[in-house]
Amino acid sequence: MASTNDIKNGTVLSIDGQLWNVIEFQHVKPGKGGAFVRTKIKNVMTGKVVDRTFNAGAKIDTANVDRRDFQYLYKDGDSFVFMDTSDYDQITLPATIVGDAANFLLEQQTATIALSEGEPLYVELPASVTLEITYTEPGLQGDRSTGGTKPATVETGYQIQVPLFLEIGTKVKVDTRTGDYLGRVN
């Protein structure tokens, strides 16, 4: 058992038999009344995001979650095969656990997998990854960084919006949380 003072981003709470990951939290001390902690939590299994408020100092049940680095090896049908970088054991995860991370996974890339009692919960990627554009419409002369965007397909097959001047073969930095274009990589 822990208290609400121990809540941090990434903490996994056990509420009503389900695991919830803390996305955001804020300690609030109003001028009148007791202090409380406002959180935005995401259900680890379903991905549902809800707002939840806890009284300050209240006891909460935290789950024991082990985050380890794994290397993505390959896709096998609808499953993804990862290798533990510490002991070289392989683990196969269904697409439901990998979730949106599949849009940014390249072979040999390192990802963090959260495990609770040996069961995989979710896959965490770095905040941004570098991907190569494999298809986009050619830019026209005069198209420069004036705010216009066009769709581009990256090497994982995911489609993002990029500035008009980018061409096939350009390496770009992509935000793994939102799928937004962050910039060109030389």
54's CB contacts (< 8 A; 6+ apart) are 4, 7, 36, 37, 39, 60
Q: Which pLDDT belongs to residue 142? A: 61
Q: Which pLDDT belongs to residue 2? A: 85
Give the CATH fold of the 128-185 domain.
OB fold (Dihydrolipoamide Acetyltransferase, E2P) (2.40.50)
| Cβ count within 10 A of residue 174 | 22
Question: 74 falls in which pLDDT band (50, 70, 90)?
Answer: very high
* CATH 2.40.50.140 holds for 66-124: yes
Q: Which pLDDT belongs to residue 131? A: 93
β-strands 66-76, 12-15: how paired?
A: unpaired
Mean pLDDT, range 109-128, rounded to an integer? 87
* CATH 2.30.30.30 holds for 2-60: yes
Residue 1 sits at the vertex; the CA angle it makes with 11 and 126, to the nearest 5 degrees, is 10
Domains of the chain, by residue range, sit at: 2-60, 66-124, 128-185
Residue 50 CA to residue 69 CA, distance in Å, equals: 28
Mean pLDDT, range 65-87, rounded to an integer? 91
Is the per-residue pLDDT at 43 higher than 80? yes
Question: 35 falls in which pLDDT band (50, 70, 90)?
Answer: very high
Q: Which pLDDT belongs to residue 138? A: 83
Sign of the CA dihedral 2, 4, 9, 15? Answer: positive
Identify the DSSP state of 1.
-
Residue 147 sits at the vertex; the CA angle it makes with 144 and 153, to the nearest 5 degrees, is 80
Is the per-residue pLDDT at 146 higher than 70? no
Sign of the CA dihedral 144, 146, 149, 150? Answer: negative
Q: Which pLDDT belongs to residue 26? A: 93
Higher pLDDT, 90 or 116: 90
Q: Which pLDDT belongs to residue 119? A: 84
Amino acid letter for position 172: V
